[in-house]
Structure 1
Amino acid sequence: MSQKLIVIGAGMASGRLLEHLLEARGDWEVTLINAEPRGCYNRIMLSPVLSGEKTFEEIVTHDAEWYAERGVTCRFGERVTGIDRAARRVTTDAGVTLDYDRLVIATGSQPFIIPLPGHDLEGVIAYRDLEDTERMMALRPGQKAVVIGGGLLGLEAAAGLHARGIETTVVHLMGHLMERQLDEAAGYLLRKELSDRGITIRCATNSKQILGQDGQVRALELDSGEEIPCDLLVMAVGIRPNVALAQEAGLAVGRGIHVDDQMGTSDGSIFALGECVEHQGAVFGLVAPLYDQAKVLAETLSGGQAGFAQKELSTKLKVTGVDLFSAGDFAEGEGREDIVFRDPARGVYKRLVIEGDRLIGAVMYGDTADGNWFFGLIKDRTDISEMRETLIFGPAYQGGAAADPLAAVAALPADAEICGCNGVCKGQITAAIGAGATDLGALRATTKASASCGTCTGLVEQVLAVELGAEFVAPTAQPVCTCTDLTHEDLRRLIKSQELKSQEAVWQELGWTTRNGCHVCRPAVNYYLLADWPLEYRDDPQSRFVNERKHANIQKDGTFSVVPRMWGGLTTPGELRAIADAAEKYAVPTVKVTGGQRIDLLGVRGEDLPAIWADLNRAGLVSGHAYSKGLRTVKTCVGSEHCRFGTQDSTGLGVKLEQRLWGSWTPHKVKLGVSGCPRNCAEATCKDVGIVCVDSGYQVGVAGAAGMDVKETERLVDVASEQEAIDWTVAFVQLYREHAKYLDRPYKWVAKVGLDWVQETLGDAATRAALIARFDLSQEVYQKDPWAERATPEAARRFAPLADMTLEAAE
């Protein structure tokens, strides 16, 4: 007879519990109740969602299909209001009562809100779940945010906000950032890095009150009386176990719900795990011990005798692209000595703390590859006296000379932790390899090692290399998707060499495992065919992402943004009147000047898109392609025509470039900038292509970035004439179109092929001319405004199914 199991809370800990429990195939009737209107997702990855690197769908760990396949009854968006322990029954705010044989409380934690005056104002939030993330994502570029808290969560919030164009200030009470994980030197380096990226950091700063206007936050006032204006204030100052439900039910509660080694509470039929529990006086915030608890509780519920034991933990963190590692005790003290390594040019700092003949603490910034090895020395209390002179250089230099780097991995004991996020030790990985998991993807699927934050991927691959020996195949580029083993590079080569000119030909000739591809490979294949065979292949709208199919950016409320093109940032009174008239006619709620010197009409209803674009087309305005993998903008300053510092006509050059390049499909979006002098008002030195005008001509730079990665352009060439600048730019864009992996920005592509190769290729005049000719040929076919094209009867028929498509169907 099946047992009724109710799980309260669909977080990462309970998600892992259900995985283990249902794998054991016990006879359970499982009901999962969650106050959030959704199932389990990886909260660790909310930061990439905030920054735009990932979508929420990409971080979902258990979707509706997963629960349905395993017979789990889901009651999402429903809150448990009471537990009747005598009757073994729970009640929800929907008025439903449910009986249980076993109950698991996994209510997690609540963010701590500092009770400052004004903390209840609208616009004061924590950073804990998807709703908080969406509140931050709703801010518009140019608005201001304050983050209180300079720990990991606060810095991730600040980085994500900054990546979205939000003016962000971090206020931290302590003297340096992440003081629990980093010493002062590493904290300084982290602060400097974030400050260089444009995030304002205020350490040793105390908050006095939150100021508001008409019920909405407007500023944070400091003890000094200074006010920091903000449109949103994020508190990221810690968490507290969520014990209210357990406390009301009369369970034993301290800081968290008291549990024993088997995760049992003071009631024999009720168990608890995750951030809500207290075990032997400790509460937990890192994911590794939560996953250990999940495994133990699954064993307990299945009749086993496993016990939870607390382990010494290391912290390997990735804050906004900077690697950080800390373990053990790195405080200063009598009888302790430090070994410090600094490499300012590479931004690397390492500090080891030694007491007697033992390593007791380690802090690493910028290069954490040896972190697990140092952690093993700390945990095992290894005598390091024989390796004292070379210890700071890591395992590869023990014995006095550079040795085989894999030797240290081979020497790791079976219980050495490899993946901290998922609590996976070396022994589990070697067992999985022995059972047939002989590549990284298979190991992730079977053990989950490197499946979360990814910082241990290199170490997992080293374990693979040690175990497989000569059979190990060094990892290359990942396959396009699960439909094929081909990499993007192989796919491009074969499409060209075998003259494959249709998607059907690709599926058939290249051995696709699915009949028509999938949502991952279809856009890539569509682009590669379009780029290689512009005359023979016709773009397939159904093989594009939904924004490109709709020719507009979908907003979070289901409306769309409309961005007319403004050549080089120039406009006319007539165009402005047309935009204003359209905004009034279609009741556009928000009209925004973008960072690319254009006007964005936000909040346009889907059914109004054809009509608003018809009005804009009649005024001579065409699509700005703000939704496309193609040319977005060419940002310019006023140049020599108006500015006394201008050396060349930067505006005119920007207009010519935009008119030449617009409408071209590229592997990812492309943004240009043209500055009229080295003062660089158009920010050309952080664009995909940036041209800086000088007295002697034009400096053409490429491969810049200004998103999550901030990177200055690399000098491609200096030319004397405007036409040469245009030719080199067009040739570079076409070279990128023909060789880059789909969804790689130019800076990633150049990093792979090398700037030297790009310069050598484009430096040949004949090659450059051929690239330009191929680009122009493609433009003859595809340089058109999709909204003007829809105005023709033939186009209307072609786009009719698309216009009627619901968002769900489009996705």
Structure 2
Amino acid sequence: MDVDSSSILLRSSDFLLQYGIEVWTQKEVVSVNPADKTVKISDGSSQRYDQLLIATGCRARPLSCPGSDLKGVNVLQCYEDAKEIISSSPGHKAVVIGASFIGMEVASFLSDKAASVALVGTSSYPYERTLGPEIGNMSMQMLEEQKVKFYMKDEVTEIRGENGKVKEVVLKSGTVLEADVVIAGIGVIPNSDFLAGSNVEVDSKKAVIVDKYMRTNIPDVFAAGDVTSFPLAIRGDQRVNIGHWQMSQAHGRIAALNMLKKPTKIESIPFFWTVLLGKSIRYTGYAEGYTEIIFKGKVEERKFVAFYIKDEVVVAAASLMFDPAVSRVAELMANGQTLTKAQAQAEDLSWLQM
């Protein structure tokens, strides 16, 4: 979180100049009119397009409880947010709200910097919905060893302040946590509000609906990345919204090819990872609706691979200190192979090339 933003630019301004890519900053599109192929910009100007790509991503979901506007209450979305959290946390009491990837990574990062770190989550264990209770429990123990205190199956009802600055966080259970800084990682909202009135179709969660070619329901309007709901090839084209940059990167490439009239379907396999205290949990596939997890190795020893099973088939895998298992599963999925529950259960894991 304390990295210098200039050191991680994906593209330098020289690259953009070299390829004739115009970049407009400090501008916001407020509406899209597909009938006359124009977008209206917040400064009152409008811009015509031949083709349009919507890649507006998501914004961090804000807290809605009383006191969420106090100074010291943060989300983690942009570089300025990271800098603010970094400067206000050392030697102070931090409360993290949300027990999924952002919340756990922030708690991990602050564990040796803040005077204390408390994490509040609504589930029984961190990552419970995505990775399951066993891995959630293990990751919780890892952070507890670094003095992070967990308040699970609980939620924030109020944030109290003094002189406009956060002082304590009140939980539904009645627990009151002292706080100098609060960081909320409670999910995201797709940035699609500006499409109101454009007839571009969005789903119930406001994600822009696209087909396998990243096309929306409107001709010459494409969308890519976290803002989309797209058909996932490995799940029989079930429409999903996946917020990981690996998938966004694949989307951008596929959208570009199709905008250049080179028909190409999105077939990328979801692959992501999270790092806690220097240890990386890797994950591939899409496990929503899984009914069972088969473990190889031992979760309590923090060396394992987990196979997520649905309808007798491996739909996802996660691992810690068990490389290259997850990469191999991703590769097999990408080649169209079906991995069975029997394969995951077998003593012989030579198919993983471990």
Q: TM-score range by the shorter chain?
A: 0.7 to 0.9
Residue 183 (structure 1) aligns with: 132
2:99 match: secondary structure? coil
CA contact (8 A) 2:105 2:275 kept: no
Note the alpha carbon deviations across 1:57-103, whole angstroms, 9 max, x for none.
22111222221222222211222223343443333233433332222
| RMSD, aligned α-carbons | 3.1
**Bigger share in helix:** 1
Using CA pairs below 8 Å that are at least 6 residues apart, which structure has the higher relative contact order? 2
Q: Distance in 2 between matches of 1:148 and 1:361?
A: 27
Report percent identity of matched pairs.
19
Give the one of 232, 251, 258 matched to 1:300: 258
The one-letter amino acid of 1:217's match is V
Residue 341 (structure 1) aligns with: 297
CA contact (8 A) 2:94 2:114 kept: no
CA contact (8 A) 2:97 2:121 kept: yes
1:160–1:343: structure 2 CA closer, same or farther, 3 Å change rule?
closer
Q: Specify the structure having the higher radius of gyration (Cα).
A: 1
The one-letter amino acid of 1:373's match is R
Deviation at 1:191, TM superposition (A): 1.0
Give the one of 362, 370, 374 matched to 2:325: 370
CA contact (8 A) 1:149 1:172 kept: yes
Deviation at 1:159, TM superposition (A): 2.3
Unaligned runs of 5+ in 1: 1-49, 399-404, 410-811
Alignment of 1:456-535 (within 5 A): none
Q: Distance in 2 between matches of 1:263 and 1:136?
A: 36
Deviation at 1:358, TM superposition (A): 5.3
1:146 match: secondary structure? strand
Asked whether 1:322 is paired with 2:271, we answer no
1:214–1:94: structure 2 CA closer, same or farther, 3 Å change rule?
same
Alignment of 1:527-676 (within 5 A): none
CA contact (8 A) 1:183 1:363 kept: no
Note the alpha carbon deviations across 1:286-332, whole angstroms, 9 max, x for none.
223322221221112212222334x5535433233122134565988
Alignment of 1:789-808 (within 5 A): none
Alignment of 1:724-763 (within 5 A): none
Deviation at 1:242, TM superposition (A): 0.9
Q: Distance in 2 between matches of 1:198 and 1:116?
A: 27
Q: Distance in 2 between matches of 1:386 and 1:105?
A: 41
Q: Distance in 1 between matches of 2:310 and 2:228?
A: 34
2:24 match: secondary structure? strand
1:181 match: secondary structure? helix
1:251 match: secondary structure? coil
1:296–1:326: structure 2 CA closer, same or farther, 3 Å change rule?
closer
Q: Distance in 2 between matches of 1:143 and 1:164?
A: 8
Unaligned runs of 5+ in 2: 232-238
**Bigger share in strand:** 2
1:66 match: secondary structure? helix
How many residues align structurally? 342
Asked whether 1:109 is paired with 2:58, we answer yes
CA contact (8 A) 1:210 1:219 kept: yes
Asked whether 1:257 is paired with 2:257, we answer no
Please give the TM-score of this superposition, normalised by the length of structure 1: 0.39
Q: Distance in 1 between matches of 2:312 and 2:211?
A: 36
Q: Distance in 2 between matches of 1:243 and 1:337?
A: 36
Q: Distance in 2 between matches of 1:199 and 1:294?
A: 38
Alignment of 1:761-780 (within 5 A): none
Residue 234 (structure 1) aligns with: 183
2:225 match: secondary structure? coil
The one-letter amino acid of 2:274's match is L
Residue 337 (structure 2) aligns with: 380
Q: Distance in 2 between matches of 1:368 and 1:84?
A: 49
1:117–1:99: structure 2 CA closer, same or farther, 3 Å change rule?
same
Deviation at 1:133, TM superposition (A): 0.9
The one-letter amino acid of 1:294's match is G
CA contact (8 A) 1:104 1:270 kept: yes
CA contact (8 A) 1:167 1:199 kept: yes
Deviation at 1:208, TM superposition (A): 1.5
The one-letter amino acid of 1:284's match is I
The one-letter amino acid of 1:371's match is V
CA contact (8 A) 2:95 2:120 kept: yes
CA contact (8 A) 2:246 2:271 kept: no
1:316 match: secondary structure? strand
Please give the TM-score of this superposition, normalised by the length of structure 2: 0.84
CA contact (8 A) 2:96 2:183 kept: yes
The one-letter amino acid of 1:296's match is I
The one-letter amino acid of 1:221's match is V
1:108–1:161: structure 2 CA closer, same or farther, 3 Å change rule?
same
Give the one of 27, 40, 55 matched to 1:78: 27
Residue 89 (structure 1) aligns with: 38
Q: Distance in 2 between matches of 1:74 and 1:359?
A: 43
1:365–1:330: structure 2 CA closer, same or farther, 3 Å change rule?
farther
Q: Distance in 1 between matches of 2:293 and 2:111?
A: 39
Q: Distance in 1 between matches of 2:176 and 2:341?
A: 52
1:82–1:385: structure 2 CA closer, same or farther, 3 Å change rule?
closer
Q: Distance in 2 between matches of 1:332 and 1:303?
A: 38
Q: Distance in 1 between matches of 2:116 and 2:338?
A: 46
CA contact (8 A) 2:157 2:170 kept: yes
CA contact (8 A) 1:256 1:278 kept: yes
The one-letter amino acid of 2:265's match is G
